[in-house]
Structure 1
């Protein structure tokens, strides 16, 4: 099991790695070796709780396929091992982000003193503008 948080872990059987030819740095190596890594996580087999999965699907955006797979691609490094580690780190970061439940906002009313300060500031501003007027003729 791949640990995500203290209480959440990921089944490695739900992950599938594919190696592709990468664009970018690498010189002649780019044309010969498949260094880019594409990680595919099957959300049905991942064993994630329903609320975490729902937040992950929303967070994934274009990385989510119609079949319910999460795709993370890494091609920023020249070696396959470093790209594999980068892709796994990015996937873990996404799942950790989805595992945090959003804090519900509690609506509050402004206090009486804050309302009074606002009205005092408005009155002060009006007095300043009133002082700029031309004197009556």
Structure 2
């Protein structure tokens, strides 16, 4: 993953934000939409693209464009920084390869300990019963 190349390929669009804010929100386009054409990217290898399609498939539209938006801050510049940061966190998380799990067996001592505690619990319950005088 070539971060600098990907940063050059990002496209931004400023949109009017929704929600509370009075007259200011009606005049200023502070919401930022980030779009990234995954298929056309030269900053990612084919294997990375395939992995991203698999992991982030629900966030990619039919044209193969990954869209993120941010309207948390009142400033367009702050929202742009936030959306870029969030984008790279998502990419990094999606490209991580999970460690393969190795099947293990419980140790002999742990098996003995478990059986011993079961036996002790059973004896405790037997001791609670009323004596049988037959």
Q: TM-score range by the shorter chain?
A: 0.7 to 0.9
1:61–1:130 distance in 2 versus 1, CA, 3 Å = farther
Residue 12 of structure 1 deviates from its aligned partner by 3.3
SS at 1:77 equivalent: coil
Matched-pair contact (CA < 8 Å) for 1:36–1:74: yes
Matching residue within 6, 29, 35 for 1:40 = 35
1:118–1:56 distance in 2 versus 1, CA, 3 Å = same
Q: Which residue of 1 aligns with 2:19?
A: 24
Query: Deviating runs (4+, > 4 A) in structure 1?
Result: none
Aligned length: 131
SS at 2:115 equivalent: helix
**Structure 1 unaligned residues grouped into runs of 5+:** 1-6
**Structure 2 unaligned residues grouped into runs of 5+:** none
| Greater radius of gyration (CA) | 2
Matched-pair contact (CA < 8 Å) for 1:56–1:94: no
1:38–1:113 distance in 2 versus 1, CA, 3 Å = same
Relative to total residues, which structure has the larger helix share, 1 or 2?
Answer: 2
Distance, in Å, in 1 between the alignment partners of 2:125 and 2:50 is 54
RMSD: 1.9
